[in-house]
Amino acid sequence: MLTLSLIGIGCGDPAQLTRAAIEAINAADLILIPRKGTAKSDLADLRRTICADVLTNGKTVVAEFDLPVRDADEVDYRKGVDDWHDAVAATWSETIAGHLEGEGKVALLIWGDPSLYDSSLRIARRLNPLPAIEVVPGITSIQALCAAHALPLNDIGEPFLVTTGRRLRDGGWPEGVDTVVVMLDGGTAFQSLDSDGLQIWWGAYLGMPDQIILSGALAEVGPNIVMARQQARERHGWIMDSYILKRRR
């Protein structure tokens, strides 16, 4: 039988690997490493480094593949994502079939945690043949961001909301909460908000050697974040960031 292990590896610091993650990596017959283009070669490099550091059984095969690119021009966002997931699942299936004959343990090293703002579980359920799926949880970018700023995420007795930059930009400040965590922001959606009374805690490349964090009143720090983000993207060719916004009444 074919088993697929989705292994959370944290946000970039190999020290964030759990013992369960290390055991799952060594139990795999095949480890898949996605390549996301030269602009994001750092992500593949980190996965290679983790494998080199923790693999000890000498039998595990590490196979790399080029990740299909989502059509950014698709007007229907959900359809674009579904089509992309189908393409990724087909690539996974093809790569697995090229190394295993219908049985064995396959592992994918997932940035952060496979269960929070990650598509791996949805893609895994489109594989043909469908494998047994297991998840090894990892440190999320939310945890890493809070730790980097020494910040408790929730206020006492109060809820918080995790959302995307696209939804924040389109819908404005969500009702019923004073704390918002923003993930997958392709731009700087916080610029669409009235900054009065808002505080921001921002971080990019969390857990990596190039980690950047900034915090303060949004009206004051916002322009600095925009500039730092632009400079970092130009330097690396890509950026992965998230931020927390709190509204003070």
Distance CA(130)–CA(107), nearest Å, equals 14
Provide the pLDDT for residue 58.
85
Decide if domain 142-247 falls under CATH 3.40.50.300. Answer: no
Provide the pLDDT for residue 57.
84
Those residues of the chain that have pLDDT short of 50 are none
Provide the pLDDT for residue 39.
62
Provide the pLDDT for residue 19.
96
* CATH architecture entry for 2-139: 3-Layer(aba) Sandwich (3.40)
Which segments of 55-202 does DSSP mark as H helices, in order? 77-97, 120-124, 141-149, 165-171
Going from N- to C-terminal start, the domains of the chain cover 2-139, 142-247
Q: What is the pTM of this model?
A: 0.89
Given the DSSP bridges, would you call strands 198-204 and 241-247 parallel, antiparallel or unpaired?
antiparallel
Provide the pLDDT for residue 98.
93
Closest residue by Cα to residue 63 from 89, 39, 98? 98
Provide the pLDDT for residue 117.
84
How many C-alpha atoms does 121 have within 13 Å on its Cβ side? 12
For residue 216, the 8-state DSSP code is E
Provide the pLDDT for residue 35.
87
